[in-house]
Structure formats: structure tokens, C-alpha cells
Structure 1
């Protein structure tokens, strides 16, 4: 667990700084001295030998600090392995910083490398060195993001399957609570067309449901009425052709469901072995995957977020204020870590169903006229202040020590 400060020294080592403009195939490198004059520049390939050449090039010129636009990847790994200080400057910042050196606004990789190096020289008090999370946290982050991607793919495939079935077999749509549920996929796999579904009677459907362990609350007669009451699907040779398309969608959906389950099991094991698991699993309605996402996106490097405000800003749940003269606008914060924002708002939106304090904050935001997403961001910001203190102190969330929650409970008890 890391808590080292990531503040930069007043002057860079050997009075030189470097900037790297990252690209897919090659990278532009620029080195400037303490007066902002270009000392050297080069291009290196995105290969093992190219990254080795990059490290040697920086070493020959005495570089100890490097500015770059992204916080991860093979380039970062190579720089950190060489014991170099890495400073991340976002692409949006670089875009704005180009105006320092001219008004043309042209995009050039070599020029951007110079901008990065010179900004690292001039803006040191506002920059922070990258302190990476532990390997366990990085691995958990990759697993959680991969699972999220697969879930999004499953949603896309399910929507495609639904649109397809509305044309060829409408009765299968809405038969069960979720089209991508296990019982729904099993039903469509067995009855891929209207002709096959016509064989069913309430008794036969009841027997099939019992065989497949159906645990829903709908009576088989009601489900059969849904099948017969829906518009008729295709029959005949055309139905057989369309059934092949149905099976193709089902195969993709089944594969996605299987891999999501596999990743979920892996995430559970990784979370259980993590030293910070007790902090995030203690949050209300955090579950396993949600707690793992929060931990993975916030990380375990305490020095990365010296204040709860810094965490809230990066998560995009703190508004952006712009003021000029008498005009003042408080707007949505677009520049943020969108993975972190998604994890935090997902947790906050569900926490209101289990935590009275969260429910009250959400209700107050709604009563002030905010829509649901805005109210959830307001609640997420409040939760991040709580999470930050638990995270910094390495303690689990305890409702009995949550003073705002206890005051609300006391007021509710008195009113009762």
C-alpha cells in the first residue's frame, strides 16, 4: 500500500526535462534545458528495442523527469522500470497549452513533445508525479473493465436479438422478465420459431418450465396466454431460415454470459485477496463487482488524491465553475475519468435504497428540480467524501460512526 507524496522538487534533476508524445506506432521525444531551449529530440518505434533505445536516449542526456499524455501502457512501464519520474499531462491540457507558443493551433507530434517537456519545466507546482497502483489493483482494474465491456456487448446483442424476434417470433419477446436471462435463452433455444411454439399447451409449458427450474412467479397458463396473444410469427421455409439467425444471436449471447460469469468469479477472488477490500465491501449495497470497480478505479495510491475534492473532481461529480466579469456559470464537468465516474455514480445511485442519509440527499436534490443523473452525481460527491476518509484511514465504513446518518436516524426516531 502506497502513501508516498507525488510532489515534484523545485528544480528538475540535472536541469533538464523531457516530453514524450505517445502514438500507436512511434513516439516523439524532446528534451529541454532549464531555460526552455531544446537540447535534443528523436523518434522511437513502439517496439521492445525502441523502448530500450528511448530509455538509453533519456539516460545519455541526464533526464530524470518525463511528461507524457497517458498514465499506462508499455511506455509508462519502461519509464518506471528505469526509475524515471513520470508526470501525466492530459491531452486536453496539451491542446490548450499549445496556445502559449503560437496561435496557429497546428497539431504536430514533435511540437507536442516540446510542449510537454517545457510545461514540466515551468508548471512544476501544479503538476504531480505518477505513483502507480500496486499490481494487484491494476490487475483488478483490467478485470473489472473487461467485464464491463462484455456486459455492454451483451446489451447490444440482446437488443439485436429482441429486434430480430419482434419480426420473426414476437411471442418470445416479453415472455420472461429479461430477454437475456437463463430461462429466456433456454426457451428461445428450444422454441426458435412460431411453429415450434405452437406445439406448446399450458400443461406442456408447465412441464418444460419445471424441468428447467423456472423460479418465476408467473403461472404457466399466463405465460402460454402471452404466447398465443402475441402477433403470429413466421412459419414455413422462411421461419427455418430465420431460426438460423436466431440461433446465431443465441450463441453469441450464451458465450458472453458464460465469460461474464467467469470474469465475475475471477474478480471475486482478486477482491478477496486485496488489502483494501474491507473498505469498499463495507459500503451499503456495494456487493462484490461494484466494490471491486470502486477499488480498482480509485486505486490504492493514497498520495494520488490529497483531498476529497481532488477525488470528486477527477470522478466528474463536482461541477465546473466558469466566471468572467459578472457572468458566472456552474456546468457539468466534462473533463474527468469517465471509468471512475461510472463506478461512483453506479454505487451512489443504488445506495439510496439502503441508506437513509443517501436517500435524503437524493430526495433533496430531486426536490430542488434536478433530474436523476444530476441528483445521483450530487449524492456521489457526498459519498466520495465519506469514502475518501475511510480510504485514507484504512478503515471500513461504519454506519454508527457516520455522524450525518446518525443525526438523521435520531430525528426520524424522535418524529416517530
Structure 2
């Protein structure tokens, strides 16, 4: 007797997303391809893609990434989206042959057919609110600019070590406002040779230097450093210095603008009080945790699911007598970075966190390993606060209070 659920089950779709186009494959209830098409990555192409899915009564689609214009168009049309990561697709290719070659049309079929055969193992995408998506864009843009600033600063440092060594260690940070202002005024060793202790002091006062280091010490750093380039070679190198400085100043300013925008968005976000209450979270760190965890509570039904995606719990492999516990490589790297950054610094403000970290360091674990263990402990707390929508309160944190009682 034929199963009625098979004959009435709707077809499933798979979309392989490329930069310029989208490869669509639709399979029926027995895995036969009923439609293939390639649509452009533009407004007309997305309308055509959604129209083809609706004509074939497809209400569930598998795709390799959880965001972007294709996902937005599918969700807006009321189509359920399931994310199957590229790593999973790579492994799933072997179900259909041993070659394992990458092909957009074939990958679209793999996505559609896997959604057909394993519906119970695949969870539908739960989108975050537009408020969280907007904040995420700003936070990730700031992170990218910070990485660019660090790279540019390293390039400037390498350049100055050759052409103007005295400027490298003059101030605490090469990309600080006072350092960049100094290099704008004195881009070469020849121009800096004009300075005396008195002149340098006057220049520092005019540029509102904080005075952390004495003028005489700064002058000594300039005069005792190697000479660097001078003459025409120095002038040419100076123009390169100014180019680096201008680029750094522009990036530093845009980071400042983004941070102001992040602070404004975070202040009105419904979950801001949760992440802002964590010890040493700060504005940027709280925003990172918020946007990488998101606000779709159904995405993480347990704290273990959140910890696994964050790479805060180990990966266990067992075969016969062979049992290995290893570092979890497969995770959300951005979420892991946000969680580890918070956990590593929380020990300086939380006695409970410091005790966990110190205990595992004393047991011989590396700093990174101890931070991961601490991050796993924190994620249990964060998940509970996140699910309940309440701020972290150390007086209600039972384990923290037990630790304080033992050390009192």
C-alpha cells in the first residue's frame, strides 16, 4: 500500500548561491528533478526565483548561508529556509558519487535532495529582528576596519623602522592621535632634527599631549634612535609616510563614527541590558556578543547548542577503544571570537571567573584552553539570562555566591 504522505508531500528546493547568479534545483517526493534554472543576482532574478518556487508549490528550501538578499526574498515570500553549511555539502556529495567535485548545479541538487530525505534532522532558519541585523552590520564593519587599521599600522611601523626609526617607539601607540599628528608635522628624520627639548615641549602643549611621558624622555628617544634616511631619499620616504598616516587617520575616524552609531543602536536594543550587565563587557564587547548570539531564542534551545556553535566545548571522537577529545574547529568563528574575548577579560572583574581560570591554569592547561573552559561556564549563565530576558546579577548567580562564601 502506498504511503499517502509520500504522494502529497510537496517538492523541495535547493539553491546554490554564487556572486552573480543562483542555481535552483527542485526535486519531487521520490528525488526526481522536476525543475532546474539559473537566475541573476538582481531584483528581477530574485522575483523570478521566488516565482518558480511558488509555481512548483515549494514551501521549504535549502541553502548554504543564513543571510543575504536571497534569504531575505525567500523569507518575505513565506518560504521556509534551511541552512546546510558548505562543509556539510562537501561531505554530502559522497552520497551521490565518489568524485566529490564541486559543481553548482550538482550542489543545488544535493541541497534539495538532502532536504527531502532528512527533514527531521534539519532545523528551519529563525531570522533575527531587523534591529539586530542593523546592529550586526555596524559591529562587523567596525571589526573589519579595526583589522585594516592594525594591518596598516604594522606596515607603517615596518616602513618607519627603515626610514625614521626614532618615530616608531616615540609614543605608546603608533596609531594614536598624537603619534599620527606628530608624523603629519614631522614625516622625516630631517624635519624632526629641527626639534629641541623646548620646541618639542611647545609642540606637545599646542597639540594637547596628555603628558604621560616627559618631554625630555621623548626627545631622548628621538636623538638616540638610528638616523634613518635623509636628503632626497628621506623626502621620498616622507611622502610614503604621509600616505600611510592619511589612510590611518581616515580609518581611525570611521571607526569612531561607527562606534558612536553602535552605541546609539545598542542603547535602544531590547537585549542591551542583558549583555551590558556582564562584567567588563563594555559597549563594543556587549554589542559583539549580542549580534553574534542574536535575538532569535529558538535558535539555541539549550546552552549546549550555543556552546557548540561558539566552539567552547570540545569535540569527542570515539571508535572502538580509540577515544579522543580535541579542539572544536567547526564552529561560528565570529561568535567564538566574541565569546572568548569576553571570557578572557571577565576574570579581571569576576572572582568566580578568575577562580575557574586560575584552577585550570594551575592544572597545567594553556591560557587558551583555560579561557575556553571559562567561556563554556559563562555561556551557561549568558544563555539563561538571554532566554529569560534578564540582566546578569552576581548576587543571584548561585555558583558565584558559593565561591564568595568559600573565600570569605
Q: Same fold (TM over 0.5)?
A: yes
Q: Which residue of 2 aligns with 1:172?
A: 167
Pick the aligned partner of 1:353 from 340, 348, 356: 348
Report how far residue 12 of structure 1 moved: 11
Q: Does 1:182 align with 2:177?
A: yes
Q: Does 1:375 align with 2:380?
A: no
What do residues 166-192 of structure 1 show as CA deviations (whole Å, max 9, x unaligned)? 111111111111111111111111111
What do residues 370-408 of structure 1 show as CA deviations (whole Å, max 9, x unaligned)? 222222222111111110000000000001111111111
Structure 1, unpaired ranges of 5+ = 1-9
Name the CA distance, whole Å, in 2 between partners of 1:404 and 1:322.
30
Q: Which residue of 2 aligns with 1:55?
A: 50
* Within-5 A mapping of 1:67-216: 67-216=62-211
Which structure has more relative contact order (CA 8 Å, sep 6+)? It is 1
Name the CA distance, whole Å, in 1 between partners of 2:224 and 2:101.
63
Q: Which residue of 2 aligns with 1:7?
A: none
Q: Which residue of 2 aligns with 1:320?
A: 315
Q: Which range moved further: 17-26 or 257-266?
A: 17-26
Q: Secondary structure at the match of 1:166?
A: helix
Q: Tell me if structure 2 keeps the 8 A contact 1:14–1:63.
A: no
Q: Secondary structure at the match of 1:399?
A: coil
Q: Does 1:255 align with 2:250?
A: yes
Q: Which residue of 2 aligns with 1:246?
A: 241
Report how far residue 368 of structure 1 moved: 2.4
Name the CA distance, whole Å, in 1 between partners of 2:217 and 2:276.
40
Q: Secondary structure at the match of 1:300?
A: coil
Q: Which residue of 1 aligns with 2:276?
A: 281
Q: Which range moved further: 141-150 or 31-40?
A: 31-40
Q: Which range moved further: 212-221 or 64-73?
A: 212-221
Report how far residue 79 of structure 1 moved: 0.5
What do residues 116-168 of structure 1 show as CA deviations (whole Å, max 9, x unaligned)? 11111221222111111000100100100000000000001100110111111
Q: Secondary structure at the match of 1:321?
A: strand
Name the CA distance, whole Å, in 2 between partners of 1:404 and 1:19.
46
Q: Cα RMSD over matched residues?
A: 1.5
Q: Tell me if structure 1 keeps the 8 A contact 2:310–2:336.
A: yes
Name the CA distance, whole Å, in 2 between partners of 1:254 and 1:366.
40
Q: 1:13 to 1:271 in 2, by over 3 A?
A: farther
Report how far residue 217 of structure 1 moved: 2.3
Q: Runs of 4 or more off by more than 6 Å in structure 1?
A: 10-13
Name the CA distance, whole Å, in 2 between partners of 1:180 and 1:27.
43
- TM superposition score normalised by structure 1: 0.94
